Amino acid sequence: MRTIRHFIDKRAKNEPDKIYMIAPEPGLSLSYGQLQEDSIRFGKYLAKMGLKKGDKISFMLANGYQANKIFQGTMYGGFVVAPLNLMSQPSQLIYVLEHSDAKIVFYSEDQKDRVETAAAKVPRDIKLIEIDNDSESIIPENEDFSGISLPEVAEDDDALLLYTSGTTGVPKGVILSNKNMVAGGEYTTLAHELTADDRALCSLPLYHINGEVVTSVTPLVSGSSVVIPRKFSTGNFWELISEYKCTWFSVVPTMISYLCSATDLSGKDFKVDQVRFGRSASSALPPSLHKTFEKKFGISIVETMGLTETAAPVFSNPMDPKLRKYGSPGPAVGNTAKIIDEKGVELPRGEQGEIMIKGDNVMKEYYKAPDITAKTIEPDGWLHTGDLGYMDEDGFVFVTGRIKELIIKGGENIAPKEIDEALYQHPAVLDAAAVGIPDETYGEEILACVTLQPGSNATEQELSDHCLELLGKFKTPKTIKLMDELPKGPSGKIQRLKLPDLIQKLEGGQ
């Protein structure tokens, strides 16, 4: 049975005292037996409040002891967990809260104002519960759950609702079933040859599919354990790996860049010999950065690739370093991949087309979006990734670009339309278009090209300050270019993907 409940029950029965999770800051650990007991209590706690099977439960929390217990416990109880992205802008947060049908939001004190302000603008009641992420329990000890039972949970029952940026600027809600989540854990276990003796360091947030599946669900499936600090920090990364004897870690290229720049292990008494590998995903890992990390730290990095729509893992390089290929996320593992042309015909090896995926990890649907779902998943189960690439003779996939226009900065999807709309709110802007450009630290940075209203003299700095106020630092374009006009097609639509080359030509001619 491929459900989260099945695996928690299985681990609790076979090895109840084995540690599943360690939360370093409060110094708390959770055994598989405790995970089962707490998940049952949490499910009954929700049921006692009147929630039914399939209801959506959200949390707005940094990583931590309670965040992961809520994540696992919600799915165990037959409910759907819908984590909220801590980097969401106010308008996105309001949209997600309303669109998701969330009945409850658990949040920490530092998120109180944001959650309350957003919830107040949603035209239905949402129960808001403030918790201490570091506490051992958020349920009163004397709470009586007699007479309350949990519903049965099946493989195809919804488990996770996670929002990912769409090209329109409106987030899309990805529904993953219990089977999808477990398959993600199985494929990660298979790709990295994980055993019950392994221990992961979770560096990515539990509102990101990588953190959720790769380092929260995978240890459950493989019978291993995970260390979950509040956030990634170059200051304690190696210390945590050393102290808790982690055998692997999952990061994104931005983190690898930070570690290479900020950390030196020489002269430190860190114990890292037990580390088998590091795992990189969420955006392409530049080969030069890949090699720099391995040379500096003596730890191999396995480049991989996944999507929210595929419960994270899709491709992974082999564990044998001699068989890996720099610049490729590897061959398909667990699922199946193919490359197709614009007519849907499978292409031979070496020819570029759209990357397609099929497997038990492919999402059920986009929430409340049957038309988009139908365009994304073919009747025979093949998923359109929107990524361009080719497959070599060994089955390794090389990603060459994207059909869709998403910007992937530091592993986070950013819709260009969201940047455009912020710029259009400035009275001096006539046309605006944002696009991703290569960046050594983040993988991609944001470039915005703007034409001004006739007679306007707004500066690039003024527009940058405007974006900073509306979008926050992370989504504010690194570069804003003022142009006489933006390239447009016959219908008048801005041809966004032509912008980087156009600017390069203009600057080269100066």
Q: What is the pLDDT of residues 84-105, one digit of tens each?
A: 999 888 988 999 999 999 999 9
Instruction: Map residue 406 onto helix, strand or coil.
Output: coil
Instruction: Report pLDDT for 454.
Output: 85
DSSP state of 245: T
Q: Same structural domain for residues 359 and 414?
A: no
Distances (CA, A) of 389 to 34, 299, 341: 45, 28, 11
DSSP state of 291: H
Q: What pLDDT band is residue 492 in, cutting at 50, 70 and 90?
A: low
Instruction: Map residue 36 onto helix, strand or coil.
Output: helix
Strand spans (E) along 281-349: 301-307, 312-316, 336-340
Q: What pLDDT band is residue 284 in, cutting at 50, 70 and 90?
A: confident
Among 370, 399, 428, identify where a domain stops.
Answer: 399
Q: Same structural domain for residues 12 and 117?
A: yes
Instruction: Map residue 439 onto helix, strand or coil.
Output: strand
Residue range(s) defining the domain that contains residue 491: 407-508
Q: What pLDDT band is residue 330 in, cutting at 50, 70 and 90?
A: very high
Question: Residue 389: which CATH number?
Answer: 3.40.50.12780
- Distance CA(225)–CA(239), nearest Å, equals 17
* Nearest Cα to Cα of residue 480 among 441, 431, 442, 440: 431
* Nearest Cα to Cα of residue 362 among 183, 167, 153: 183
Instruction: Report pLDDT for 42.
Output: 98
Q: Same structural domain for residues 16 and 96?
A: yes
Provide the number of structural domains found in the chain: 2
Strand order in the sheet with 365-366: 127-130, 102-107, 56-60, 80-81, 158-164, 172-177, 365-366
Average pLDDT over residues 432-459: 90
- Cβ neighbours of residue 453 closer than 8 Å, sequence gap 6 or more: 427, 428, 429, 430
Q: Same structural domain for residues 426 and 357?
A: no
Residue pair 163/171 in contact by the 8 Å Cβ criterion: yes
Instruction: Report pLDDT for 11.
Output: 98
Among 372, 399, 426, identify where a domain stops.
Answer: 399
- Cβ neighbours of residue 130 closer than 8 Å, sequence gap 6 or more: 106, 107, 108, 109, 112
Q: Same structural domain for residues 450 and 472?
A: yes
* Nearest Cα to Cα of residue 436 among 497, 371, 486, 357: 497
Question: Residue 430: which CATH number?
Answer: 3.30.300.30
| 280 pLDDT above the threshold of 80 | yes
- Distance CA(39)–CA(83), nearest Å, equals 17
Residue pair 477/471 in contact by the 8 Å Cβ criterion: no
Instruction: Report pLDDT for 510.
Output: 46
Q: What pLDDT band is residue 368 in, cutting at 50, 70 and 90?
A: very high
Q: Same structural domain for residues 391 and 414?
A: no
Q: Same structural domain for residues 417 and 392?
A: no
| 488 pLDDT above the threshold of 90 | no
Strand spans (E) along 208-281: 225-227, 248-251, 277-280
Among 344, 379, 399, identify where a domain stops.
Answer: 399
| 106 pLDDT above the threshold of 60 | yes
260 vs 106, residue with greater confidence: 106
Average pLDDT over residues 252-272: 87
Q: Which residue has the tokens 């030509």?
A: 505
Q: Same structural domain for residues 365 and 469?
A: no
| 494 pLDDT above the threshold of 80 | no
Strand spans (E) along 197-283: 199-202, 225-227, 248-251, 277-280
Q: What percent of the chain has pLDDT over 90?
A: 77
Instruction: Map residue 243 onto helix, strand or coil.
Output: helix
Q: Same structural domain for residues 282 and 427?
A: no
Q: Same structural domain for residues 413 and 313?
A: no
Q: Same structural domain for residues 86 and 194?
A: yes
Instruction: Report pLDDT for 446.
Output: 95
Instruction: Report pLDDT for 491.
Output: 47
What pTM did the predictor assign?
A: 0.87
Q: Same structural domain for residues 423 and 445?
A: yes
